[in-house]
């Protein structure tokens, strides 16, 4: 498989669209909300969590979520976007959920981390499968997205 085929192609079934929509929409909407509600979800939240340079990292994370969530939804550069989002969600789990484990216990942490873990698993699924047949890439690809 060539590098181009890995980045773009996918033989995955059309149903992958559902996973792309779910994961992409969560990241896109969360990214937008970091700008709409900076006190609750943006800079102030990052500050309360003790994340260094919150005035930089909150907007940075918001942009990553928007810029990577959008191509997931339409099915373009899916694997590249998933790699960036896997890095982001891993950092989020390490900085927000793992400290909660020591403070509040396993089950409280698991309750708060449920969406993060679902997003991480959804991203890993999309990294493995690619965008699928119902994607923007497949629409413009002469093989119907079946290059991988």
pLDDT in tens, 118-140: 999 999 999 999 999 888 877 77
Give the total number of structural domains in the chain. 1
Task: Tell me the residue range of the domain where 122 lies.
Answer: 3-140
Whether 45 maps to a domain, the answer reads yes
Whether 147 maps to a domain, the answer reads no
**Rounded to whole angstroms, how far apart are CA atoms 142 and 18?**
23
The per-residue pLDDT for 137 is: 78
* pLDDT tens-digit readout, 54-63: 999 999 999 9
Whether 135 maps to a domain, the answer reads yes
* pLDDT tens-digit readout, 106-119: 999 999 999 999 99
If phi over 0 gives left and psi between -120 and 50 gives alpha, with beta otherwise, what is residue 126?
Answer: alpha
pTM confidence score: 0.85
- In this structure, is the dihedral angle defined by the CA atoms of residues 81, 115, 89 and 12, taken in order, positive or negative? negative
Whether 64 maps to a domain, the answer reads yes
């Amino acid at each position: 498989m060539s590098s181009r085929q890995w980045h773009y192609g996918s033989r995955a079934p059309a149903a992958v669209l559902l996973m792309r929509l779910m994961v992409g929409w969560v990241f896109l909407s969360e990214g937008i909300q970091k700008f709409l509600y900076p006190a609750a979800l943006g800079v102030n939240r990052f500050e309360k969590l003790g994340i260094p340079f919150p005035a930089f990292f909150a907007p940075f994370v918001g942009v990553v979520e928007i810029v990577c969530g959008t191509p997931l939804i339409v099915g373009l550069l899916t694997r590249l976007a998933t790699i960036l989002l896997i890095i982001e969600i891993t950092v989020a789990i390490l900085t927000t959920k793992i400290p909660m484990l020591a403070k509040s216990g396993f089950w409280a942490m698991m309750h708060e981390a449920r969406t993060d873990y679902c997003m991480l698993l959804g991203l890993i699924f999309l990294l493995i499968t690619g965008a699928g047949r119902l994607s923007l890439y497949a629409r413009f690809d002469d093989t119907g997205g079946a290059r991988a």
